Amino acid sequence: MPDSTLLAGHEGELRCSWFGGLDDYQAYHDDEWGHPTADDKVLFQKICLEGFQSGLSWLTILRKRENFRIAFAGFDFEKVARFTDADVERLVQDKGIIRHRGKIRSTINNAQRACDLVDKEGSLARFVWGFEPDTHDHRLMQTTSPESIALSKELKKRGWSFVGPTTMYAFIQSMGLVNDHMEGCCYHAVIEEKRAAFKRP
């Protein structure tokens, strides 16, 4: 029986099957998903977009991501933190993004909370990477972990919103705090090497 967790890419190499054979999803799988980063803007962007994704597919968000970047000042949280009610109204009218007033306000709130966090912790990356698991037992269809629950709880305590445990697990996966590329995926070993070489903040 073929392994349903793997799917051949356009050049024939096996990948995690969730990319679905789609060009843009394959590029995201190969070039971004699971690659560790210490870039605060990239981390903030991902937290926000995972929040917007709640109730939707990630593919929907991915295909609108450039519009989101334009709408939210490149996810520079110091700039987004200064957004006003007028910006909220502008964004609610922006057909290029998900026009959910609560999620738009949440992004502005989270930008303000990110500024507070950086003042206290030194960087968003230093804070986030403190929740990297010591060991990781990858289980198929896992949607939360003790670390994602702890990260969610700590962010909520600090006033963040749309940061539930499932959302935070998707964030942990995509930002490389764990390697959830399937065994047999041609990028599993690539991410292992990148994580081994990555300098934790």
Residues identified as active-site: 28, 50, 58
Distance CA 140, CA 155 (A): 26
**Helix (H) or strand (E) run with residue 192 in it:** helix 188-197
Distance CA 141, CA 128 (A): 23
| Cα separation of the two ends of the chain | 43
Contacts of 115 (CB under 8 A, 6+ apart): 77, 78, 81
For residue 51, the tally of other CB atoms under 10 A from its CB is: 23
Distance CA 112, CA 40 (A): 14
145: left (phi over 0), alpha (psi -120 to 50) or beta: beta
